[in-house]
Structure 1
Amino acid sequence: MKGFVFFDLDGTLLNGESKVDVATAKAIQTLKNNGYEPFIATGRSSAETRDIMESANIHSGIFMNGQVVLYQGKRVYSSEIPTEMVKKFHQMVKEDGYGFTAYNDKEFYLVESTDGAKDAYGFIHTNPPALNADFYIDNPINMLLFICLPPAEEKYKVAFPNLDFLRNTPYSVDVISKGNSKAEGIKRFLEYLNQEDAETYAFGDGPNDIEMLQAVTHPVAMGNAIPVLKEIAEFITTDNTDNGIINGLKHYDLI
């Protein structure tokens, strides 16, 4: 293996309709043929990205901001949020009139519904999941999607000091175990393979990509990335809707 390439999804690997362009999928296959292992690195779960992974022919990933790491379909790391903590979160969300979804690497359900769910999931061109208020009671939970407008999460940061709150859309906040991130997921994967010195590349556009770009050998910011990401990038490629992945891979002679 010559190296590992990590791709954020929304605003990065995906186009404006949250799909993988055919040309991008072909570039990923060429990347693999050239001896590099592609990874998805996303705030989303593997359960909700199956179609994306299939269309891109990618079988490894850092999911839910580092909560779960899969390598060629095998789970090599998982961090779960304790059931009692989720229960307390549920009670507080219900009292405040917000909503949230509970995730693991196999399935996800709305636990507390709200009108904002349509906006939160519409932002990534999907529909809200089914409602299952008891899902977290008998199932492991890796991540919560807190459906709320800012600054609602500030109160919850104080109430749940062992959780991290990452706002990635105007309508929702990813809630994960304190200390996890895409960067930590990459680190754990490289340690698992004893490949800490491998050449690594990462493509991203948003706030939850900052640590990831700082953790790899070659950080790449999309043309549509936030300013701080462009400041730390080694290379700034074109927008995600303008062959940004292809142009970035070509810049490094990976394809």
Structure 2
Amino acid sequence: MATKAVFFDLDGTLFTGTRNVAATTRRAIVELHKNKILVGVATGRGPAFVLPLMETLELDFAVTYNGQYIFTPKKVLATRPIDKTTLREVVDYAGKNGRDISLGMADGVHGSSLVKFGETRTAQVIAGILPKKMSGLTKNSFKNVVRKVKPQSKNLSEDIRKPVYQVIMVATSAETAEIMTHFPELEATRSNDYSADLISRGNSKLKGIARLGKEFDFDLSEVMAFGDSDNDLAMLSGVGQGIAMGNATPNVKAVASYITDHNNADGIAKALAHFGLINFKHAASFISKDDQFNKVKEFHRLMDGKTQEMPRVYLPEEASHRAGFKVEEIVEFLFAAANADVAVFDDLTEKLHSAIDTAATKVKSKPVPEGENALTGEVDALLDLLYFTYGSFALMGVDPHEVFNLVHKANLGKIFPDGKPHFDPETHKILKPDNWAKDFAPEDKIETELERQIRVAMSKLGKLDKQKADDF
């Protein structure tokens, strides 16, 4: 059966050991979307943690807090907070028994600094170097080491007044079963050695995925899911293809339908390629940490049929062409600044000609830096140009992120349904599909986005003025 949706656990799966997303995984997600496959995460982490990742990777949806909080970039689809009576009992139990806990809420995790610290890379190193044979590792060793610098928060009374979707409690695997006898309304799932995630009984990542299936028209049998920890067991065993990472626990590997490579060794991309969902190649194309660069690079791959993978210099004629493209945009910028007043525009373009002459004289008068090659000079100049562009946006008070995405989508809209660009046989200019103006032209969308930014700015200024008036 065809795969319609792919879900990734985060820690140990989508994330590498350095808490980054591998370049091959980023490329794989782009290719999945091109192949009309939905992509999401299913994690014990909360929505506040996941949201920036969702924006960066352009994910379609997220199952967070192990199924307790489900959302898309546009709306929250379902939530299931822990009932207040049970929540108070857990907090009371933790206080009486010296248990560190944190409360998972919509805006983040609140409570024990020990729990927060336990999720960091530093904590993983500490846990890794402590003797493995020590009984009660989490309670007696990890906890005692960290407690010296991360004291337990004593007051959770304010937090439990708001919806709480998950309780994270420091406890070893052996201790968890005994703890859970006190809370029949909850169940525990684990993704690490030092803590348990407590959620409402009957909920899970798998239930969250099924909920999204109803919304987006896919069945569990049409889902591929990746995981590495015991809180992924139900998910991997309940979907059509459950993929265990090479670094997964033995329990996870036992229920998986396929075991891929390690999360640090392109495991996700290799598995997706194994099942024919993407075309994975090891060496070829580098991925930048700058996602906007990656989008433009992908556009050129589609337009040019290839990309440049080795740094190289622009030859004079090529440099002239690239500069011509930029000058045209600068002239359009001046025309907009002149508000279509031709007389003003002519004056601005005359000044631009003068500025070019002045700049040429200035550059020729400068001594060429000893040892600087053409590649270094070109890159330095282009980066300055990019920096000036961002500076212009900063001085305009405009956030360019979403505007860039709109322009990028418009440019990709020039690709025809056959996946290729089409060019005029005489002028060699790129042609636009018949639906481009209606579906992809960016001007109206940019105007709408700028109006949104203005509304947000005015709202903030209004609140600031009110606060100043109240203070006065």
**TM superposition score normalised by structure 2:** 0.49
Give 1:67 deviation, angstroms. Answer: 0.8
Counterpart CA distance in 2 for 1:168 and 1:12 is: 11
Among 190, 201, 220, the alignment partner of 1:178 is 201
Q: For residue 78 of structure 1, what is the aligned residue in structure 2?
A: 79
- SS of the equivalent of 2:29 reads helix
Q: Given that residues 166 and 199 in structure 2 are in contact (C-alpha distance below 8 angstroms), is that contact kept between their aligned partners in structure 1?
A: yes
Which structure would you say has the larger Rg? 2
Please identify, of 219-228 and 181-190, the stretch whose mean Cα deviation from structure 2 is larger: 219-228
Counterpart CA distance in 1 for 2:247 and 2:264 is: 9
Structure 1 pair 74/137, CA: closer, same or farther in 2 (3 Å)?
Answer: same
Counterpart CA distance in 1 for 2:206 and 2:17 is: 25
Among 143, 148, 156, the alignment partner of 2:179 is 156
Counterpart CA distance in 1 for 2:36 and 2:77 is: 21
Q: Given that residues 170 and 195 in structure 2 are in contact (C-alpha distance below 8 angstroms), is that contact kept between their aligned partners in structure 1?
A: yes
- SS of the equivalent of 1:49 reads helix
Please identify, of 55-64 and 39-48, the stretch whose mean Cα deviation from structure 2 is larger: 55-64
Residue identity in the other structure for 1:38: V
Counterpart CA distance in 2 for 1:238 and 1:74 is: 34
Q: Given that residues 109 and 129 in structure 1 are in contact (C-alpha distance below 8 angstroms), is that contact kept between their aligned partners in structure 2?
A: no
Among 240, 248, 254, the alignment partner of 1:231 is 254
- Structure 2 counterparts to residues 117-196 of structure 1, below 5 A: 118-121=117-120, 122-123=123-124, 133-196=156-219
Structure 1 pair 84/158, CA: closer, same or farther in 2 (3 Å)?
Answer: same
- The unaligned stretches of length 5 or more in structure 2 are 127-149, 279-472
Counterpart CA distance in 2 for 1:71 and 1:2 is: 20
Give 1:155 deviation, angstroms. Answer: 3.1
Matched, 1:26 2:49: no
Counterpart CA distance in 1 for 2:229 and 2:159 is: 29
- SS of the equivalent of 1:169 reads coil
Counterpart CA distance in 1 for 2:74 and 2:101 is: 27
Please identify, of 131-140 and 183-192, the stretch whose mean Cα deviation from structure 2 is larger: 131-140
Give 1:224 deviation, angstroms. Answer: 1.4
Higher helix proportion: 2
Counterpart CA distance in 2 for 1:101 and 1:89 is: 11
Q: Given that residues 28 and 38 in structure 1 are in contact (C-alpha distance below 8 angstroms), is that contact kept between their aligned partners in structure 2?
A: yes
Higher strand proportion: 1
Counterpart CA distance in 2 for 1:29 and 1:87 is: 44
Q: Given that residues 113 and 152 in structure 2 are in contact (C-alpha distance below 8 angstroms), is that contact kept between their aligned partners in structure 1?
A: no
Give 1:234 deviation, angstroms. Answer: 2.4
Counterpart CA distance in 1 for 2:238 and 2:25 is: 24
Give 1:5 deviation, angstroms. Answer: 0.2
Q: For residue 269 of structure 2, what is the aligned residue in structure 1?
A: 246
Q: Given that residues 165 and 175 in structure 1 are in contact (C-alpha distance below 8 angstroms), is that contact kept between their aligned partners in structure 2?
A: yes
Matched, 1:218 2:217: no
**TM superposition score normalised by structure 1:** 0.88
Q: Given that residues 102 and 115 in structure 2 are in contact (C-alpha distance below 8 angstroms), is that contact kept between their aligned partners in structure 1?
A: no
Q: Given that residues 62 and 185 in structure 1 are in contact (C-alpha distance below 8 angstroms), is that contact kept between their aligned partners in structure 2?
A: yes
Structure 1 pair 119/245, CA: closer, same or farther in 2 (3 Å)?
Answer: same
Structure 1 pair 124/53, CA: closer, same or farther in 2 (3 Å)?
Answer: farther
- The unaligned stretches of length 5 or more in structure 1 are none
Matched, 1:60 2:56: no
Please identify, of 155-164 and 44-53, the stretch whose mean Cα deviation from structure 2 is larger: 44-53
Q: For residue 93 of structure 2, what is the aligned residue in structure 1?
A: 92
- SS of the equivalent of 1:248 reads helix
Q: For residue 47 of structure 1, what is the aligned residue in structure 2?
A: 48
Give 1:132 deviation, angstroms. Answer: 6.0
Give 1:116 deviation, angstroms. Answer: 6.1
Counterpart CA distance in 2 for 1:42 and 1:156 is: 23
- SS of the equivalent of 2:88 reads helix
Residue identity in the other structure for 2:5: F
CA RMSD of aligned residues (A): 2.7
Give 1:227 deviation, angstroms. Answer: 2.3
Counterpart CA distance in 2 for 1:139 and 1:181 is: 22
Give 1:150 deviation, angstroms. Answer: 4.2
Q: For residue 227 of structure 2, what is the aligned residue in structure 1?
A: 204
- SS of the equivalent of 1:230 reads helix
Residue identity in the other structure for 1:92: Y
Identical residues among aligned pairs (%) = 31
- SS of the equivalent of 1:203 reads strand
Counterpart CA distance in 2 for 1:221 and 1:197 is: 17
